[in-house]
Each structure stands twice: as C-alpha cells, then as structure tokens.
Chain A
Amino acid sequence: MTQTMTLLESIPEKLGTAEHWVEKGGVHWLSPCPLNVRELTAAMNDWKARFITITAYQLPGDQGFRLEYHWDLDGRLLGFPFLLAGNSIESIYDICEAADWIEREIHEEFALDFLGREYEPLLLRVGDKPGVNLREEAK
C-alpha cells in the first residue's frame, strides 16, 4: 500500500505537472493532463496500471466532448479527462489492447473517431450511421 501511495503521489511530478491529484466522486483526478493521450497510456503501461474504460460525455452547445480515461493502480481509480473540440482523438488501441472495444463503442454511440485504427462493426447500430444512439443531434 505504501509503495502504491508513493507511486501515486509521484505520478504528477513524473508526468511533468505541478497539479495534484483531486479525489472526487470516487476517482483520483489529474486535470488537466500534461501529456497527450498516447503519452499518458505509455506511462500507465510502464507503471503497470490496468486500463478500465473510457467514458464519453457530450458537452452543452458547441463545446464538444469530454473523454475520461480510467486506469486502476492497485485498487485506486485514476481519471484523466480530455476535452475534444472536434470529433476525433488519437487511438490508444495499438499500445493498449484493452481499449479496443470501448473505442469502437464510443465511435458508434457518439460518432467520434479514434485516429490511427480501423473499426470492425460492433453491430450496435447495424445499418445506421454512427452517433444515432447517444449523440445529442441524433437523439
């Protein structure tokens, strides 16, 4: 536990930010994340954190989207939010195999593109365009 705490406490500095973890709603948040999503994933891989999921939110009006990336570090839930002004973000699938299906699902539900990967259809919306389910404009 002590080792985990030490690693957890040292992560912001290792990521090159003066920000500290904020524990809120059951998550240790580091916001804004000083790295891009691929650099962050590579760092999480190095620390053997377990990827859990990505949660997507559509922000009001034309503010775009917020994607929250979650990892588990020895029972502690870490969260890193990324704001998207457009409709795309780099994929992490090639360096984090566990992200495959959730990237595909967000692509189908919100019509967001994860750049640098191909999609196999999940069949959630067979015959439909991506985004029909959760994207505001299509509801």
Chain B
Amino acid sequence: MSYKIPMGPYHPALEEPYKLDLICEGETVRDAKLHIGFNFRGIERLAETRNYIQVIALMERVCGICSNIHTLTLCQAMEQLTGLTPPPRAQYIRVVMAELERLHSHVLWAGIAAKLMGFKTMFMTCFELREKVMDVLQAISGNRVNYSMNRIGGVNRNIDDPPGVLAMVEQLEREMVRTVIPIFTTSTTARSRCAGVGILTHEKALSCGVVGPVARASGVPQDLRRAAPYAAYAEMEFDVPVVQDGDVRARLLVRALEIMESCKILRQALTKLPPGELNAGEDKLVFAAGTATSRVEAPRGEVMYSVSWKEGSRNPSRVHVRTPTFAVMPAIRWMVIGARLADTPLIQASIDPCYSCTDR
C-alpha cells in the first residue's frame, strides 16, 4: 500500500521553503511531486519599473549567495545594448569575485551537506571556512553578502592589494586541503552515507537539461567558463571536474574538486591582474533598442539573462532570468524514486538548491 508524506514547505530538513509530496511504499519512495513559489517576489515585474542603475541593485537581491553572479550576468547583457566593453582589469576583478563567490557557495553547501549526513563537526569546520571566504569578499568590496561590484562597463571597486588578497586565498586553500577536501573525498562516513544514493543517470541528466555541478556529477562535461568564456576566463587555465556516477557522492566530489580549481583560478587572476581602468567611464548611457542575452557559470550552474530595451527608455522593458536551480530542481523527482525516505533530505540538498533564485 502506498501513502503520501508531505515534506515542507516549512520543514527542519529543508534549507528554504518548498514542498515535496513523497509517495512511499514502506520506507521506499515510489514517486514525488515538487511545488515551488513560496518565495515568489515578482522581481521580473519589478525590474521593468527600475532604471538602469536601480535594476542592478534589484537583481543583486535575486539570490543571497550568488548575488554577484546576477549583477555580472545582467551587466554583461546591458553592455551589449550600450556597446561598452569593460577594461581588462575589470574583467579580471570580475573573475576574482565570481570564483570567491563559488568558494563561498560550495563551502556553505558542504557544511549543510555535512549536517544532513550527521557529521556536525564537519558542519562547524565548513562554516568557519565560509566566514573566512566572506572576510576576503569583505576586504575587496566592503560587504559580506551584496557586494555591489558590477556596473555597466566594468566594476565599482579596485583590488588595492592583490598580494594581500592572494595570501588570504592561499591560507584558505591550505585549510581546505587539510580539512574539507580529504573528508569529502576519502572519508568512510561520507562514502557510506552518499555512495549509490540519489542517482541521476547520464541520460536523465541530459533529458532534464540539468546544469552545473549536478550535470558534471552525472558525466555531462558542461561549463560555460570553458564552452563560452566570458570576463577573463579565456585567459585562465583550469580543469572542469566531471564524475560519472551521478549519485550524491559524485556531487560531493565534483564540488570538492571545483573548490581546488577555483583556488587555481584565483591564484592566476590575482597574480596576473593587469593595470588600468576599472570601467569604461561612461555615466550617461544610451541603450540600443532590442534584446541582449548573457550567460554565466554560477556556483550552481548556468544563469541566463535576457534583457529587452525600448528606444529612449531608462528602464528595461523586460528582464527574464533563468536560474540554475530552476533547471535542476525538476530532476529531484528522478533522484528520489527508489530511495529510502530517510535519504530524501540529503538528496534534495545535494543539488544545492536555491529557492530564492528559483522563485524570483
């Protein structure tokens, strides 16, 4: 006999509100339905009422963790409409901010995953590390969450002391290599709790169109930093970690390896930071009528913005945001079918969901 267990929208096992209706037989999940919308704020509609300065601040609020990525993607789209090209130093600073944000996101996620595994010491360690990443972000931008770094045609703030920031990053990398990476890649606890759990097959990953670390953990080697480089990524050397297994452990491994790759990129960007201006220096902007689209590889995967402008307007006529969790979340259904009920919180957390982004 099957029965339905509702999980959410407000539940101790969920980071943010959404609802999962689980159809179970005994302890085994046979099917699931997902419901979102509990964080809906109508941001796309609000964007139509903001001018080109205000809309950047608004879209920075789409997500609390990858706020920089949203302004970067939006500014890249608006740069196409204004014809402005950010100077090289700004492109490098954009890479530094994006990779620090990836570190922040992955370490935060690692802490939450550790907690759901019942590994609370690891949770504490990850959150301590996360604080240190935020210290670096604060040292650069003056802010710990919404950094206000991007503007149309460049960035708002310089990195005044690249060697100092590099020293902070190297200290972080040493601590991660000593604690997080070995535990997530070799620990028996992590392996026994995550291996073979919540499998998303390669075929299903392709048909669902999943993105980011979830795709790469199912053997889909897709990363916009490599496939369609933006900012200064074309000048960076890095690997794109891909694991074939498609289970929770594979997602853990991919993110752990991506932490190392982010450190590698940060080292290059901070060492090679070119001199020059921070932005194109235009204050009065003229937007061409039409639509521009930009994509960026956020910590959770591909973000896409389509921005539309009418002639002579100060406001966008339409801003459409396709966030990574919106693409990945429907795949949770396929991950939990056949899983034990007790594993579903860990499985849903393994995609690193952001409902704030999803609902907008």
Q: Footprint of B on A, CB under 8 Å?
A: 24-27, 48, 50-53, 55-57, 68, 70, 72, 74-77, 79, 97-98, 100-102, 109, 120-126, 133-134, 139
Contacts and interface: CB of A to CB of B under 8 A. Distances in A.
B37 A124 contact: yes
A31 to B, nearest CB: 12
A48 B202 CA distance: 13
Contact of A74 (B37, B207, B227, B292): B227
Contacts of B308: 57
A134 B44 contact: yes
Interface of B: 33, 35-38, 40, 42, 44-45, 76-77, 80-81, 206-209, 222, 224, 226-228, 290-295, 302, 304, 306, 308, 318, 320, 322, 326-327, 329-330, 359
A25 B224 contact: no
Q: Is the interface of B mostly helix, strand, loop or mixed?
A: mixed
8 contacts: A25-B290, A26-B295, A50-B206, A75-B226, A75-B227, A77-B228, A97-B330, A122-B37
Contacts of B224: 75
A139 B45 contact: yes
B38 A102 contact: no
Contacts of A48: 206
9 cross-chain pairs, A with B, having the tightest CB-CB distances, nearest first:
A98-B209, A75-B227, A123-B37, A25-B292, A53-B322, A75-B228, A55-B320, A26-B293, A124-B37
A123 B37 CA distance: 5
Contacts of A25: 77, 80-81, 290-293
A53 B291 CA distance: 15
A139 B114 CA distance: 45
Q: Is the interface of A mostly helix, strand, loop or mixed?
A: mixed
A97 B227 CA distance: 23
Contact of B290 (A24, A56, A68, A139): A24
A122 B35 CA distance: 6
B59 to A, nearest CB: 16
A26 B322 contact: no
A101 B80 contact: no
Nearest to B310: A60
A98 to B, nearest CB: 3
A97 B359 CA distance: 20
A57 B318 contact: yes
Given A77-B228, A122-B35, A124-B40, 14 more contacts: A27-B293, A52-B209, A55-B306, A55-B318, A70-B304, A75-B224, A98-B327, A101-B329, A102-B326, A109-B44, A122-B36, A123-B37, A124-B37, A133-B45
B34 to A, nearest CB: 9
Nearest to A106: B320
Contacts of B304: 52-53, 70
Contacts of B326: 101-102
A56 B360 CA distance: 16
Given A25-B81, A97-B208, A123 B45 contact: no
A26 B74 CA distance: 12
Contacts of B290: 24-25
B322 A68 contact: no
Given A50-B222, A51-B209, A75-B228, A123 B295 contact: no
A26 B38 contact: no
Given A52-B302, A53-B322, A55-B306, A79 B293 contact: yes
A98 B318 contact: no
A101 B330 contact: yes
A85 to B, nearest CB: 19
Contact of A126 (B37, B227, B318, B330): B37
Contacts of A124: 37, 40, 359
Given A98-B327, A101-B330, A134-B44, A50 B209 contact: yes
A17 B103 CA distance: 46
Nearest to B204: A97
A121 to B, nearest CB: 8
B21 to A, nearest CB: 10
B228 A76 contact: yes
A77 B295 contact: yes
